[in-house]
């Protein structure tokens, strides 16, 4: 048996990917499983980037590229960021990697020294704390409940920052809540951050184009506080807005010293991102604005339909999402009840029974740092969500 490192012994499997695997296992046994777990659009990659991927193979655009991505793609990313948030970057200030998840991972590796703290608010994307730990950092978790609208307040941010703080990591619109930070909320956070120049801001913008109020893009901290640009990393990728999850392509723009370090780290780890995926992403960035607008309309319809369905369950309280494609459901009214003599103590208990007895896969809020909730993806058809809701009603009707 191989002697594993301490890091390997402490490593936790991604909860969402574990649940996806469990759902597939049940499906393989013949069960009709409805999965509302993974943050993956159910619509295909748009036609233009798909054809560009085929073109890359046909034209032999299949060799290594620079570790930080092609200059053409980095320039296109810079143009898109200028279009979205009004900030100008050169290609040298942009890096491309094998998915935005790896981009954040690489950034944390380059920012954190052993014992450094990274501030994360609850509820958070399930991978954030583990990625900090893998960088020898310490996740400093701020509890953000319903009274704070599940967002970090300036008061709580000020209290959390100390001499060990190296970064603030947040996502807007949020995975898992679907809520976003308003311009005024970001401005208030910026007032705190100005007093602490050692804190790097990592803005996870993966869902910034999937917003439901009629605006083109979610508010951004650099729009209200451009003076923080020299310590802000802007992260995005192809997975959500362009439905390019399997292409594994992500990017970041930020201070050149950090971007250079991340590129060097990528050169020693993944090498370069896929040349085929880069060619497809280039086409997506240049041509897919109409496709994104169409997807937003689809998600708004699914949100309204899903809210109507879930509101028919009196034991649920659902935050109306402002972006992304998740419902953040308060299930506290179901805790303390029993199902077939099994006491439901936690959100994990609730979601486990829902999966194994009613074949609906969801993410327990405890995996996002918030007990008493569950996350549902509505990047599925309205009919699929209706069927899932019917099974939830059946489950709840049997609680004692």
pLDDT at 27: 81
Q: Which of 6-15, 84-93, 300-309, 335-344 has the lowest mean pLDDT?
A: 6-15
Among 287, 306, 338, the domain boundary falls at 287
Q: Looking at the predicted structure, is the pLDDT value of residue 20 above 90?
A: no
pLDDT at 16 over 80: no
Residue 229 lies in domain = 47-287
DSSP 368: G
- Angle at the Cα of 80 from the Cα atoms of 79 and 84, rounded to 5 degrees: 120
| pLDDT value of position 11 | 84
Residue 133 lies in a domain: yes
| 1, part of any domain | no
User: For 235-260, how does the pLDDT look when each residue is reduced to its tens digit (9 = 90+)?
Assistant: 999 999 999 999 999 999 999 999 99
**Final residue belonging to a domain, choices 287, 304, 326:** 287
* Contact by Cβ (8 Å): 251, 103: yes
Q: Of 396, 383, 381, 382, whose CA–CA distance to 329 is shortest?
A: 396
Look up residue 345 and give its two tokens.
């103590």
SS3 state of residue 142:
strand
Taking each helix axis from N to C end, the angle separating 289-310 and 382-397, rounded to the nearest 10 degrees, works out to: 20
pLDDT tens digits, 34-81? 999 978 999 999 999 999 999 999 999 999 999 999 999 999 999 999
- pLDDT at residue number 7: 86
| Spatial separation of the C-alpha atoms in residues 64 and 318, rounded to whole Å | 47
Beta bridge partners of 138: 117
Task: Please name the residue ranges forming H helices in the chain.
Answer: 6-10, 15-28, 47-58, 71-85, 100-111, 128-134, 154-160, 183-193, 221-224, 256-268, 275-287, 289-310, 347-358, 382-397
Residue 14: pLDDT band (50, 70, 90) is confident
How far apart, in Å, do the first and last CA atoms of the chain sit?
A: 47
Average pLDDT over residues 147-155: 97
For 86, 192, 240, the CA distances from 70, given in Å and listed in that order, are 23, 37, 21
94-119, pLDDT tens digit by residue? 999 999 999 999 999 999 999 999 99
Mean pLDDT of the chain: 96
Summarize the confidence of residues 339-362 as an average pLDDT: 96
User: Are residues 102 and 37 both part of a single domain?
Assistant: no
Q: How many domains does the chain have?
A: 2
- Largest Cα separation within the chain, whole Å, is 63
In a domain, residue 170? The reply is yes
pLDDT at position 24, please? 84
- Residue 153 and residue 223 in one domain: yes
User: Which pLDDT does position 38 carry in this prediction?
Assistant: 79
- Residue 9, CA atoms < 13 Å, CB-side half-sphere: 5
């Amino acid at each position: 048996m191989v002697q594993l490192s301490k890091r390997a012994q402490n490593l936790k499997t991604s909860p969402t990917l574990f649940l996806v695997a469990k759902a597939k296992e049940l499906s393989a046994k013949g069960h009709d499983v409805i999965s509302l777990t993974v943050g993956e659009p159910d619509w295909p990659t748009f036609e233009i980037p798909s054809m560009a991927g085929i073109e890359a193979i046909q034209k032999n655009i299949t060799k290594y590229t620079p570790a930080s991505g092609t200059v053409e793609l980095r320039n296109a990313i810079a143009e898109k960021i200028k279009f979205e948030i009004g900030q100008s970057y050169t290609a040298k200030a942009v890096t491309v990697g094998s998915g935005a998840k790896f981009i954040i991972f690489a950034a944390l590796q380059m920012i954190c020294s052993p014992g450094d703290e990274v501030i994360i608010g609850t509820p958070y994307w399930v991978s954030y704390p583990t990625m900090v730990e893998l960088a020898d950092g310490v996740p400093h978790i701020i509890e953000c409940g319903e009274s704070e609208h599940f967002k970090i307040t300036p008061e709580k941010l000020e209290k959390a920052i100390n001499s060990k703080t190296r970064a603030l990591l947040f996502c807007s619109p949020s995975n898992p809540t679907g809520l976003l930070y308003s311009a005024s909320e970001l401005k208030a956070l910026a007032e705190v951050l100005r007093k602490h120049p050692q804190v790097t801001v990592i803005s996870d913008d993966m869902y910034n184009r999937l917003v439901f109020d009629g605006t083109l893009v979610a508010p951004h901290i650099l729009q209200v506080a451009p003076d923080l640009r020299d310590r802000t990393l802007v992260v995005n990728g192809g997975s959500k807005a362009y439905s390019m999850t399997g292409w594994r392509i992500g990017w970041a723009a930020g201070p050149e010293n950090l971007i250079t370090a991340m590129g060097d780290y990528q050169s020693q780890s993944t090498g370069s991102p896929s040349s085929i995926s880069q060619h497809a992403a280039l086409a997506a960035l240049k041509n897919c604005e109409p496709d994104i607008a169409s997807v937003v309309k689809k998600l708004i319809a699914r949100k309204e339909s899903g809210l109507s369905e879930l509101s028919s369950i009196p034991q649920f309280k659902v935050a109306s999402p402002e972006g992304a494609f998740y419902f953040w459901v308060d299930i506290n009214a179901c805790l303390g009840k029993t199902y077939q003599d099994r006491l439901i103590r936690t959100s994990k208990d609730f979601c486990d029974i829902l999966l194994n007895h009613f074949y609906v896969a969801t993410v327990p809020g405890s995996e996002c740092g918030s007990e008493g909730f569950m996350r549902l993806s509505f990047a599925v058809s309205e009919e699929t969500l209706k069927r899932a809701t019917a099974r939830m009603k059946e489950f709840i009707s049997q609680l004692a």
